[in-house]
């Protein structure tokens, strides 16, 4: 499996979630204090890193065919979930994520908190925000890394690079990253996860894919075509937003 593909998918998935987590950390930082916001985020990142370090190597104790099957099914389900949401958003049947609105909501909630408990609430908000947004990424990194130590290294590096980039940008701008094309990134990640998932599930079942890893590209092209057609069909059909 190409390390750059793993790292790239992991990078995009992490970047999307990091943007969402950043909104919450910024809200805490602006409303309460930066040490509180950063402490909460750092604790959560530590927990996420522990999940990757503990569960990554543990998964490799499972026989490879069973592992591919289970990991493949999980990735396919994850991918379909991301892709469905992205398709509905592109088709206008689900509201696009608005980081500025999410930021404003968090700020209002934090300002309403009682002064005596405000720092504690800020710490918990920052911790929970980063943990919840990062959990999906941790699972993706762990499942990607199930194949080998090198694969775990590639996927973890992709995730770390994305988090670093988003954190640096966020701290420099000190405002929600509302101009990041989150939905387009989710669409691409959805296609990649579904392709990886299909490929690995197939390998676990014993399907001999044409051209081995090259089939991944064909699967990605196939799901891209299907998803693009579904965006158009959902736009035409319209109806009640999901």
Partner 1 sequence: MNLAAIWEFIAGDSRRAPLAVALALIVAVALLHSGAPSGVVAMTFPAIIALGLGAAVFESR
Find how far residue 202's CA is from the centre of its chain: 23
Q: Decide: is 198 part of the binding site for partner 1 (CB under 8 A).
A: yes
Q: Which is nearer to partner 1, 95 or 233 (CB)?
A: 233
Q: Decide: is 47 part of the binding site for partner 1 (CB under 8 A).
A: no
Residue 153 has φ and ψ, to the nearest 5°, of -60, -45
Site for partner 1 in 203-222 (CB under 8 A): 205-210, 215, 219, 222
CB of 74 to partner 1, least distance (A): 6
Report helix angle 118-144 to 99-112, nearest 10. 140
Q: Decide: is 119 part of the binding site for partner 1 (CB under 8 A).
A: no
Q: Which is nearer to partner 1, 11 or 223 (CB)?
A: 223
Contact 148, 69 (CB under 8 A): no
Binding mask 157-196 for partner 1 (x = CB under 8 A): -------------------------------------x--
Stretch touching partner 1 by CB under 8 A, among 2-10, 29-37, 170-178, 232-240: 232-240
Q: What is the distance between the alpha carbons of residues 238 and 116, in angstroms, rounded to a whole number?
A: 49
Site for partner 1 in 59-98 (CB under 8 A): 73-74, 76-78, 80-85, 87-88, 91
CB of 183 to partner 1, least distance (A): 15
CB of 198 to partner 1, least distance (A): 5
Interface residues with partner 1 (CB under 8 A) are 73-74, 76-78, 80-85, 87-88, 91, 135-136, 194, 198, 201-202, 205-210, 215, 219, 222-223, 226-227, 230, 233-234, 237, 239-240, 242
């Amino acid at each position: 499996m190409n390390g750059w593909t793993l790292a790239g998918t992991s990078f995009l998935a992490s970047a999307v979630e990091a943007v969402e987590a950043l909104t919450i950390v910024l809200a805490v930082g602006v409303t309460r204090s930066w040490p509180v916001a950063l402490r909460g985020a750092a604790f959560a990142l530590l927990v996420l890193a522990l999940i990757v370090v503990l569960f990554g190597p543990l998964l490799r104790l499972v026989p490879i065919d069973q592992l591919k099957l289970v990991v493949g099914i999980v990735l396919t389900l994850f991918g379909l979930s991301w892709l469905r949401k992205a398709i509905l958003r592109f088709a206008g049947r689900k509201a696009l994520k608005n980081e500025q609105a999410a930021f404003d909501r968090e700020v209002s909630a934090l300002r309403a908190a009682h002064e005596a408990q405000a720092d504690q609430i800020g710490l918990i908000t920052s911790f929970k925000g980063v943990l919840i947004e990062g959990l999906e990424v941790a699972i993706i990194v762990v499942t990607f890394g199930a194949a080998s130590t090198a694969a775990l290294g590639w996927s973890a590096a992709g995730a770390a690079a994305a988090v670093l980039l988003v954190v640096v940008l966020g701290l420099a701008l000190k405002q929600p990253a509302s101009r990041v094309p989150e939905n387009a990134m989710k669409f691409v990640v959805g296609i990649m996860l579904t392709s990886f998932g299909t490929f690995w599930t197939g390998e676990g079942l014993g399907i001999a894919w044409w051209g081995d890893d090259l089939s991944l590209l064909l699967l990605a092209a196939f799901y891209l075509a299907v998803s693009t057609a579904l965006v158009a069909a959902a736009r035409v059909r319209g109806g009640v937003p999901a």
